[in-house]
């Protein structure tokens, strides 16, 4: 037995053994509880079906609906210098000379030009004058009077190596800068600059409204964008009521026929097919059916001028007979044969000329006086027609009709 107050060795061992089992039991219970909680499906994070890729994702295009601003296609296109555009334009533009007056045209290919129909009305051939002064002859080919368009063809030395590229009026926007090149008032190689005011519809014709200065002589010349491409053919200006090709104070209301019509004509198609997509019903120019007061005044002036010229033509025929009698009896030497009327020579020779034989001076003097009287009446009639608004080309055409277009009168 063990001494009193001391546990026996066997009892201590039993206690240690029992304590160890208790500790082990607690440890096992703790481990089991922990494992059970860890394995509870409700606490497990969901596993992804596909493992995330570490590769760089492909680029995603910008979505304009999320605020991305699209880049304009022309932003990447270099804009030529203004001087370069003008230089190429001048080398391609020519003056068109006809018995009615002058206009402009431009090369679109080596032997092909475009102009307005009203510039070449009534002509089969016209004279063209290049920027350097060289002249040539061009044949009037396809025309479309309703669209105020005409195609000219030429060959040989009159052909041109430099030509202009054709664009489209459909790309124009109000405020966009444009240039016009032509021969306003006969001043060849003239450049003017302005902006596009609007794209409008005038009957079947799509026209560009611009504040670019356009004057008589610009008709048929190109309207260029800032890339140097032709977007229109300068054609006419508008007042209270004018028709294409009319001349009057425009106050910035200038118009050019959309080049799209001309491109169709060049391809042998109807000009109507060229600008169908450009039509803007909200920007119409209503065609007028009644002439304005100004037009009535011009028409009346034209009629009065023709009546007066017809009277002067009868006077000129009487002078022709008197001149013929003088040539037959009292004139020595070769009679002038290059003038419309032989007696026109009295304005160019001494009074009387040496060719008049002695003794016939008295017969010459009334002829000279009659010629001076006819000259003064012709000048007065022309001035009255000018004040009535009759155009210079129309007056010249009538003078040619009545054989009274003598350059020495200054008309």
CA distance 39 to 190: 93
Selecting among 92, 104, 148, 206, the annotated active-site residue is: 148
- From the list 92, 104, 206, 219, the catalytic residue is 219
Which of 96, 89, 106 is closest to 128 using CA atoms?
Answer: 96
Catalytic residue among 104, 118, 206, 382: 118
341 counts as catalytic? no
Is 118 a catalytic site residue? yes
Active site residue 65: no
Report the catalytic residues.
Answer: 118, 148, 219
């Amino acid at each position: 037995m063990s001494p009193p107050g001391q546990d026996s060795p066997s009892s201590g061992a039993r206690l240690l053994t029992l304590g160890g089992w208790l500790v082990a039991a607690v440890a096992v219970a703790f481990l089991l509880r922990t494992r059970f909680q860890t394995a509870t499906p409700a606490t497990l994070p969901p596993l992804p079906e596909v493992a995330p890729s570490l590769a760089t994702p492909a680029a995603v295009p910008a979505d304009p609906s999320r605020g991305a601003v699209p880049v304009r296609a022309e932003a990447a296109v270099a804009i030529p210098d203004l001087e370069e555009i003008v230089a190429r334009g001048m080398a391609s533009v020519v003056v068109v000379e006809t018995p009615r007056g002058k206009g402009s045209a431009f090369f679109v290919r080596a032997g092909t030009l475009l102009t307005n129909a009203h510039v070449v009305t009534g002509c089969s051939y016209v004279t063209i004058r290049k920027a350097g002064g060289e002249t040539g002859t061009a044949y009037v080919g396809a025309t479309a009077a309703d669209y105020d368009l005409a195609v000219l063809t030429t060959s040989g030395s009159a052909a041109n190596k430099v030509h202009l590229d054709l664009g489209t009026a459909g790309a124009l926007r109000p405020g966009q800068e444009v240039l016009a090149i032509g021969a306003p008032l006969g001043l060849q190689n003239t450049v003017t600059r302005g902006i596009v005011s609007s794209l409008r519809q005038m009957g079947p014709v799509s026209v560009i409204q611009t504040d670019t200065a356009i004057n008589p002589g610009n008709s048929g010349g190109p309207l260029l964008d800032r890339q140097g491409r032709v977007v229109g053919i300068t054609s006419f200006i508008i007042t209270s009521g004018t028709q294409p090709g009319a001349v009057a104070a425009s106050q910035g209301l200038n118009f050019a026929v959309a080049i799209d019509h001309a491109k169709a004509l060049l391809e042998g198609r109807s000009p109507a097919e060229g600008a169908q997509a450009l039509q803007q019903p909200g920007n119409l120019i209503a065609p007028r059916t009644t002439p304005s007061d100004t037009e009535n005044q011009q028409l009346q002036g034209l009629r009065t001028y023709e009546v007066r010229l017809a009277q002067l033509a009868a006077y000129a025929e009487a002078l022709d007979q008197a001149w013929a009698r003088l040539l037959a009896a009292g004139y020595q030497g070769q009679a002038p044969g290059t003038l419309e009327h032989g007696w026109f020579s009295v304005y160019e020779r001494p009074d009387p000329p040496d060719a008049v034989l002695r003794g016939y001076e008295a017969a010459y003097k009334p002829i000279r006086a009659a010629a001076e009287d006819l000259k003064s009446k012709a000048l007065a009639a022309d001035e009255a027609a000018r004040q009535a608004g009759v155009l210079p080309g129309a007056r010249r055409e009538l003078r040619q009709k009545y054989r009274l277009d003598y350059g020495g009168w200054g008309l």
